[in-house]
Amino acid sequence: MNPEDIKRYIRLFHEREIPKVIEREVKPSFAEGRTTAIVGPRRSGKTYLLYSLIGEDREKYVYLNFENPLLFGITGRDFPKILDAYYDLYPENVGEDIAFLLDEIQNVPGWEIGVRYLTDEGFKVAVTGSSSRLLSKEIATQLRGRSLTYTLLPLSFREFLRFKGTWIERRDLYGREIHRIKKLLDEYLRFGGFPEVVLLKDKIRILEEYLSVMITKDIIERHSIRNVALIESVIRLLLSSYAKYTSYSSIHGFLKSEFGTSKTTVLEYLKALGDSFFVFFLPRYARSEKESQRAPKKVYLVDTGFSLFSRKDVAKDMENAVFLELMRLKHYFNPLLDVYYYGGSGEKEVDFVLVESGRVVELIQVTQDLSESKDREVSALVEAGRRLGCKNLTVVTLDEEGDVEADWGKVKVVPLWKFLLEITPSAPLSALPSPEPF
C-alpha cells in the first residue's frame, strides 16, 4: 500500500462534484458500534446509495472504491494506515465524527479485519459489495453479528417515475396525467427498473450485458462452476418459468436425460442463482415449515426486463412486478413481513399471502383482465380468506378498479399502476415516508 496514493484518491474525491443522487426509498443509516452494509443485485444503485449518506461537510466522509487502481493491493491490515493517511490530509479532524464509505469491499483481502478495526475505533462505517462475493449472511458472519444489512432492489415504479422526472401527487390520479402514468407503466413492465436502463436509450443491450455479467461473475466464477452448459440450461429454464411453479425434482428430471446431472448439483445451482439475486423462489404457505419447503416454489425474476430474453408475457410481468413490490415492502419498510403463495393439494390458488408475525394480513391475486376470470379469481380469494381467517382481499388488474361484494367480505379491485403507487396496507404507516408526493 502506498500512502501517497491513498491521499491522492481521498483528495480527488473531495475536490470533484458528486453525481446527482435521486432519492431512493430504502433509507440506510449509521448505527453506533455497527457496520452498515448495502447488498443487492449488481447495477441496482448501491454506490449512489452510499453517496446519499454524505453530509454537508464532505471532508469528514472518506469514500473509497476498491475497484480503483490507486487502491489496488490494499488488505484489511492496511486500514490503520488509511486512517493515518486521512489524518495527514486533515489533522484538524482528529477526534471528529468521521464516516468511512467503502465501495466494493469484497476486493480487499481480509476486509473484515479492517472494517472491524474502524468500527471498534468508533468511526461510522458503511460498505457495499458485489453479490458475487459478498452475501448478507457472510457479512453477518465476518462481522460477528455487528452489522445492519440493507437490501437494495431495482427501482420501484414510484422511483422509476422520479428517474423519469415525473412527480405524482394524489390529485393527479384523477386527471389527464393518468394517461402518462399508464404509458410509463408499459415501459416499466417491459424494460424493468435497473437505474441505468431507465435513464439510457440502448436498454436491451444494457440488460443483455447485465445478464451476461451476472451469469459469469455472480454465478459461474463465484461458485467455481465447471459445467457451464448445464448452468446456462438452468437459467434458460428459469427465464421461461418466471411467475410459474417449479420444483427441484421437475428441473432435475428435465435436465437429467441431457446432462446426466445429480439432484444435488441441481440444488446447488439453484441456490447459486438465488444467492446472486437473479431469481427468487417463493414458498407455499403451509401450517408447517417442512410442508412449505417440500411444496413446489414459484419463480420470480429480480427485474421484469430480464423476461425479454425469454417469452415475455404481460400477465406474468404484472405478477412479477407485484412480487418485487412486496419484496421492497419487506426489505425497505417491514422486516416482519413474509410472503408466500397459497394453493395446491386441492385448494384454489392465490398468488400472494402476506404474513406478519405469524398472522395472515392480506391475500393478493393478480390477473390481467378480471372480466374474463372474475368468478375464478374472486372465489379463490374468498375461499382462502375464509380458511386463513383474513378479510383483507385484493385483486390487482391491469386497468380495472372497484369492489366486489362476497359472502366473506368485500374484495378490492385495484389497477396495477395504482397498486404500485400507493402504500400497501400491510406496511406500518409509521415506517413509511409521507405518501404525498409519491
Tell the burial category of 370 from Cβ atoms under 10 Å away from its Cβ (0-12, 13-18, 19+): buried
Which parts of 90-135 fold into alpha helices (H)?
Answer: 111-120
Mind listing the pLDDT tens digit for each residue in 392-403? 999 999 999 999
C-alpha cell recorded at residue 161: 417515475
C-alpha cell recorded at residue 262: 445429480
- When pLDDT is averaged across residues 308-334 and rounded to a whole number, the result is 96
Confidence of residue 146 (pLDDT cuts 50, 70, 90): confident
Mind listing the pLDDT tens digit for each residue in 195-241? 999 999 999 999 999 999 989 888 888 888 888 999 999 999 999 99
Q: Residues, the chain, total?
A: 438
pLDDT for 166 equals 82
Which residue type occupies 101? L
Which residue type occupies 337? L
CA 266 to chain centre: 24
Residue-wise DSSP of 300-332: EES-GGGGGGS---HHHHHHHHHHHHHHHIIII
pLDDT for 172 equals 64
pLDDT for 346 equals 65
C-alpha torsion angle, residues 157, 158, 162, 166 (rounded to 10)? 90
pLDDT for 190 equals 98
Residue 277: closest CA among 123, 135, 175, 173: 135
| DSSP designation for 143 | T
- As a whole number, the mean pLDDT across the chain is 89
pLDDT for 133 equals 54
- When pLDDT is averaged across residues 4-9 and rounded to a whole number, the result is 94
The full set of domains in the chain, from first to last, is 3-151 (3.40.50.300), 187-431 (1.10.10.10)
Residue 335: closest CA among 162, 173, 150, 153: 150
C-alpha cell recorded at residue 383: 375461499
pLDDT for 124 equals 97
| 364 HSE (CA, 13 A, CB side) | 26
| DSSP designation for 71 | G
pLDDT-wise least confident of 11-20, 74-83, 90-99, 162-171: 162-171
- When pLDDT is averaged across residues 43-59 and rounded to a whole number, the result is 94
pLDDT for 108 equals 92
| DSSP designation for 131 | T
pLDDT for 428 equals 37
Mind listing the pLDDT tens digit for each residue in 418-436? 999 985 444 433 333 333 3
C-alpha torsion angle, residues 316, 320, 325, 331 (rounded to 10)? 170
- When pLDDT is averaged across residues 65-72 and rounded to a whole number, the result is 91
Residues whose CB is less than 8 angstroms from the CB of residue 176 and which lie 6 or more positions away in sequence, other chains included: none
How far is the C-alpha of 371 from the C-alpha of 86, rounded, in Å?
65
Tell the burial category of 70 from Cβ atoms under 10 Å away from its Cβ (0-12, 13-18, 19+): middle
How far is the C-alpha of 227 from the C-alpha of 126, rounded, in Å?
36
Confidence of residue 138 (pLDDT cuts 50, 70, 90): low
For the chain, percent of residues with pLDDT exceeding 70: 91
Higher-confidence residue of 141 and 244: namely 244
Burial 297-306 (b: 16+ CB within 10 A, else e): bbbbbbbbbb
Which residue type occupies 12? L
Confidence of residue 1 (pLDDT cuts 50, 70, 90): confident
How far is the C-alpha of 306 from the C-alpha of 25, rounded, in Å?
23
E strand residue ranges, 208-259: 245-246
C-beta neighbour count of 289 within 10 angstroms: 9
| DSSP designation for 215 | I
How far is the C-alpha of 189 from the C-alpha of 303, rounded, in Å?
9
How far is the C-alpha of 109 from the C-alpha of 124, rounded, in Å?
21
Mind listing the pLDDT tens digit for each residue in 166-184? 877 666 666 677 888 999 9
How far is the C-alpha of 328 from the C-alpha of 41, rounded, in Å?
13
Tell the burial category of 148 from Cβ atoms under 10 Å away from its Cβ (0-12, 13-18, 19+): middle
Residue 125: closest CA among 71, 183, 82: 82
pLDDT exceeds 60 at position 327: yes
- When pLDDT is averaged across residues 64-69 and rounded to a whole number, the result is 92
pLDDT exceeds 70 at position 331: yes
